[in-house]
Amino acid sequence: DAGVIQSPRHEVTEMGQEVTLRCKPISGHDYLFWYRQTMMRGLELLIYFNNNVPIDDSGMPEDRFSAKMPNASFSTLKIQPSEPRDSAVYFCASRTRGTGANVLTFGAGSRLTVL
Amino acid sequence: AQSVAQPEDQVNVAEGNPLTVKCTYSVSGNPYLFWYVQYPNRGLQFLLKYITGDNLVKGSYGFEAEFNKSQTSFHLKKPSALVSDSALYFCAVRRPTPPLVFGKGTRLSVIA
């Protein structure tokens, strides 16, 4: 198992540009989470999905952020337009409902820098 | 709503000495408690969890944690620290239903 796969690992963009981050969860996992990590705010939950359906998006900062999960093996987090304050590391994580239900597996993260 | 507090931003310990990283929580009902570790430029990795049962739980790399319901604490411990234990440690809590809420993290530095 390759684990949770995120791309790109690093993204540098200019303010106002659209950014799309991608995540492939572990096969068979039916929960997917997007977190954002910054020095000031630590790890914040942005949104999570169960069986491809968004369950709680109350952590999404504002309308500039959107997330989709079109199928069980792919999710995107989009920022449009991007702003310098969006600079952070964005993590995707997944988990199952089975015996490993309580353990999140994280991807390596996507480091976003907005100039 | 559930929350987690890690009162120390930084913990320094000499190699070979015991280490403790503190965590207190607030949640209604029975908590599910976790510790994760993050090495530089990596995602978080699971260390150990408390769901129910024995208050002392053992995890990866020789770490253990003790659930104390009266003090609402779940401190991470290791009897003898290694330089390779230097990393960022996160405590997390949730109720039986998602999501997992993380503390701000404690940076552990083990000095040779």
The residue behind tokens 């409902």 is A97
Strand partners, B90: B36
Residue A75 confidence (pLDDT) above 90: yes
Task: Locate the DSSP E strands across chain A.
Answer: 5-7, 10-13, 19-24, 31-38, 42-50, 53-56, 65-71, 74-79, 88-95, 105-106, 110-114
- Percent of chain B past pLDDT 70, that is, above it, reads 96
Least-confidence region, from A1-10, A49-58, A92-101, B5-14:
A92-101
- Percent of chain A past pLDDT 70, that is, above it, reads 96
- Mean pLDDT score of chain B, rounded to an integer? 92
Distance (Å, whole) CA A28 – CA B29:
29
DSSP-derived secondary structure letter, A85: G
Please report, for residues A41, B4, B55, the alpha-carbon distance to residue A89 in angstroms, rounded to integers and kept in the order given: 12, 21, 34
Does B103 sit within 8 Å of A103, measured CB to CB? no
Chain A contact for B10 (CB, 8 A cutoff): no
Nearest CA in chain B to A39: B104
Count of A-B CB contacts under 8 Å = 51
- Phi–psi pair at B85, nearest 5 degrees: -80, -10
CA dihedral angle for residue A41, residue A48, residue A99, residue B33, rounded to 10 degrees: 30
- Percent of chain B past pLDDT 90, that is, above it, reads 76
Contacts of B90 in chain A (CB under 8 A): 43
